[in-house]
Chains A and B, each alone.
Chain A
Amino acid sequence: MVEFFHHNLSYFLSGISVGGQYALIAIGYTMVYGILRLINFAHGDVFMCAGLMMVYLSASLPFVISVPLVLVLTVVLGFIIERVAYRPLRSAPRMSVMISAIGVSYLLQNAALYFTGGLAKVYPEIPFLSSSVTIWGATTRVVTIVTPFLTVILVVLLSLLIKHTKIGMAMRAVSRDFETSQLMGIKINRVISITFMIGSLLAAVASFLYFTNYASVTPSSGAMPGLKAFVAAVFGGIGSIPGAVIGAFIIGICENIIKGGASIFGIPGSGWTTFSDAFTFAFLIVVLVVKPTGLFGEKSVDKV
């Protein structure tokens, strides 16, 4: 019985943890969508790049320098992508911008392939995050416990920024109406840049947490978490930040409960675990059939 509890607890904990990581990535998708109606396909790869930067920088720099440096460089990367690949297409059809996003995604993956030579790079053990703790008899890493708290803190800070600051008000205005925002004197390009920078910053934070758990980075490491985070954003109602966060936690927890289900019910493990991703996407399809706008989706307000 005790063992049964421990089993469940550890799956639940890792579910919350991975959910928090998806949430931090999902915010980037949902904010960019909210302001540009663009699905930024490159976002998962920005996350992967943050992981790789950490691999290379921590090889020669102490963590107190490499961690903030990765945050800054990822923000710069997000800024540059928007500036170079999306801004010139501001008045182009949405499809062109989407193709540009797919292009950036491949560019980042190919660049990563070039630098890594296609080998999986071992992620550094960040002190504290990597160490083990035991709670209620379940042994896990500190990162598992830290992630949900850090996620909630960052989401609260972001909500305060959006709700109570001038730039947050501008973000809400621009996501609603470009032209009228301009008439207020708002420089929409600046607001859009800031949105990309916030999304990238959170993706970088997620990369520390996620790769500490997975221990290695490859050029395609961004694909799955990126996709899951995107699913979470759609599930929660794309454009909505609380929606993305709740969606991400639900997906993280479900995914791990399915993995856990194998051992809980004594079903031969590998079978179930293999299907946990398929389940995630099946779940999304069901939700979208029942509620096409997602949990917190806005009533389709199309921008003119």
Chain B
Amino acid sequence: MRKDQNLGEYLRAQGVSRRGFLKFCSATASLMALPPSAVAQVAEALASARRPSVIWLSFQECTGCTESLTRSHAPTVESLIFDAISLDYHHTLQAAAGEGAENARMAAMEENDGEYLLVVDGSIPTGNPGFSTIAGISNLDMLKETARGAAAVIAVGTCAAFGGIPQAFPNPTGAVSVSDIITDKPIINVSGCPPIPVVITGVLAHFLTFGTIPDLDPLGRPTAFFGQTIHDRCYRRPFYERGEFAHTFDDEGARKGWCLYELGCKGPTSYNACATLKWNEGTSFPIGSGHGCLGCSEPGFWDHGSFYKPISAGLWGPRETLLGAAAAGAALGIGSAMAARARKNKALKEAEADSS
């Protein structure tokens, strides 16, 4: 896409019809919980949007978030929107390396000071600056430096949003989330391991349309996508209501598509849009394939006990503690019974002495 082209011109050049574009706009509008009357506004604003400069920083991550966004089966309007932004810096996708790459970041920051979007995936190690560096710059320094002139920060993926897997116990690198470091910029958390691609583009589209960030939930996630739990929208919910659960992955219940609560599904406590938007161009999502939700869009999802432990089950230590408790109770019981007997005997003796 040429710098002077706007988004509408670019999409037309890519063969996207007006119809296809409007379809995307109305889908985006409804995803963002906007009234149908807003579709025209979204379309107009998106079509005339100039490509915003985006700097994408990858810290302690696995590149899964970038994969999620770029590896769609066929180019969709969402992915074209992603193409349409001016991705001025992205370790994985850019051709430049070393000093050239860093210069590109500096140039983009200078040129678009106060206006560029900063996208971050991966958590930031605070244990030792040497744990993760890029061109000799620690992740912590690079984040602070790049966030300074950003209009907003999008933390893509659970690692950037909440610390994610690097932060899992015992958190060897002292990993923290973007919002633990940056406190003076609007931050949008697009969590998920990885997040749903259309959620990332939806947030970008919102920014392009309105120049603002969408409504966020208490954890800084767009409510349009994270406002409901997987359980709220799960197609297996009627089985949950009837108390029909699969007990193993290959029993009668599993074959009949019953609820996966017993097999550890974290749908009831996980806020994400998988159950409605689904994955791989709307093909399916984990519960659709017979596996419970892992709750990957939630803080600390790696440390909530086994993925296969039901939510209502205890997450406590060894059962032996209860044997210890029983032993302590027994000692207390014997002790108090003996003390009571001693008191009784003493009273009896006194009574005898009194009567004699």
A and B assemble together? no
